[in-house]
A = this chain, B = another copy of it.
Amino acid sequence: MHIGFIGLGKMGKAIAGLLLGNGHELTVWNRSQEAVQELVAKGARAVSAPSALGKSDILLSILANDAATRSVFLDQGVLEAAHPGLIHINLATVSVGLAKELAELHRRRKIGYVAAPVFGRPDAAAAGKLNIVVAGDPASVSKAQPILETIGQKCWPVGAQPENANVVKIAGNFMIASAIETMGEAVALVRSHGVKADAFLDILTNTLFAAPVYKLYGGLIAAQTYKPAGFTAPLGLKDVRLALAAADESNVPMPFANVLRDSLMELIATGGADDDWAAVAKVAARRAGL
């Protein structure tokens, strides 16, 4: 089985490395060559243009955003080169709008299309511990399943429309951002009354909020350690904007998402473009003069 892989950012490298480690043969393409060489060193083959991967049986892609996805699949001709029967598994977080458009374009060309955005950071990816939200026509999903099970610890099917998986991923990232802002505001409140952030967060994240998201980001907020960023403010803002764009399409008011957009924009506009998105807690504190 020929497996193609497009997009070797942090997440892409980890996933491609995992597949190679599991004995899969992989042909890879990436815009910058450095990452390609890393994977070649681990046994991957490389091609010089992404369209060369149109002959694969399975084509995985995980590009940074809508623009990169559009550029590679539409402008650089991957879709045009794809043979009918190919299954494209898109692991990236793209907009609901692009997800619908891609679904339609694949359908017309009789190419299988599976949206499979992932929850998890690069270390989870390298360990095969991702949670994968999966949507697409059942036949394609079924063919994608073995690969997805290699990549993730669990697949969560959410229907036959690929965009379903994307809206779930986008809504999930909105929930993470909300958890961060919530802690930021709560910490500003308790600090203004003389309670230390870590004393407060220690209680909550070990009882009612004993969940990975709260422990991870609660730790960053308590320590006020926002660099180096695991996930930068601009990336977080991009994801919040995806939520707002999806909400715009169907007229869904999301007042929390508005607050998140404003907090992240303020963070970026006031010097925090390199900070982890957890630094919205810093914005909450600054607004209170803390």
The 8 Å CB contact of A203, one of B156, B195, B241, B263, is B156
Beta-carbon nearest neighbor of A161 in chain B: B194
Contacting residues of chain A (171-195) with chain B, CB-CB under 8 angstroms = 171-172, 174-176, 178-179, 181-183, 185-190, 192-195
Residues A175 and B168 in contact in the complex (CB < 8 Å), given A158-B199, A251-B289, A288-B253: no
A214 at the B interface (CB under 8 A):
yes
Measured CB to CB, the nearest residue on chain B to A200 is B168
Whether A176 lies near B208 (C-beta < 8 A) is yes
A154→B259 CA distance, assembly (Å): 35
Complex contact B262–A287 (CB within 8 A): yes
Choice from B154, B168, B183 contacting A190 with Cβ under 8 Å: B168
Q: Does A96 contact B (CB under 8 A)?
A: yes
User: What range describes how many residues of A lie at the interface?
Assistant: 35 or more
Q: Check A255 against B262 for contact (C-beta < 8 Å).
A: yes
Within 8 A of B (CB), among A227-283: 241, 243, 246-259, 261-263, 265-266, 268-271
Of B175, B189, B256, B286, which one neighbours A243 at CB under 8 angstroms?
Answer: B189
Which of A186, A187, A192, A270 is most buried by chain B, counting CB atoms within 10 A of its CB? Answer: A186
User: How many copies of the polypeptide does the oligomer hold?
Assistant: 4
- Enumerate chain B residues within 8 angstroms of A214, measured Cβ to Cβ: 211
Q: Does any Cβ of B come within 8 Å of A78's Cβ?
A: no
> A207 in the interface, Cβ–Cβ < 8 Å?
yes
B172 pairs with A189, CB closer than 8 A: no
Interface residues of A in 118-161 (CB under 8 A from B): 119, 131, 133, 154, 156, 158-159, 161
Confirm or deny: A68 has a beta carbon within 8 angstroms of a beta carbon on chain B. no
**Residues of B close to A170: CB separation below 8 A:** 189
Smallest CB gap from A252: residue in B: B288
A251 CB contacts on chain B under 8 angstroms: 192, 265-266, 268-269, 288-289
In whole angstroms, how far apart are the Cα atoms of A252 and B281 in the complex? 12
Contacting residues, chain B, for A202 (C-beta < 8 A):
156
Contact B203 A168 (CB under 8 A): yes
- Known A175-B208, A185-B255, A185-B257; further 15 A-B contacts with Cβ < 8 A: A156-B199, A171-B186, A174-B182, A176-B208, A178-B256, A189-B243, A192-B249, A193-B249, A208-B212, A241-B248, A253-B266, A255-B258, A255-B263, A258-B261, A269-B288
Q: List 30 A-B contacts (CB under 8 A).
A: A119-B207, A131-B207, A156-B203, A164-B193, A167-B189, A168-B195, A170-B189, A171-B200, A174-B182, A174-B186, A174-B189, A175-B182, A178-B178, A178-B182, A179-B209, A185-B255, A189-B247, A189-B252, A192-B252, A193-B246, A208-B211, A208-B213, A211-B214, A241-B248, A251-B266, A251-B269, A253-B287, A259-B259, A262-B287, A270-B286
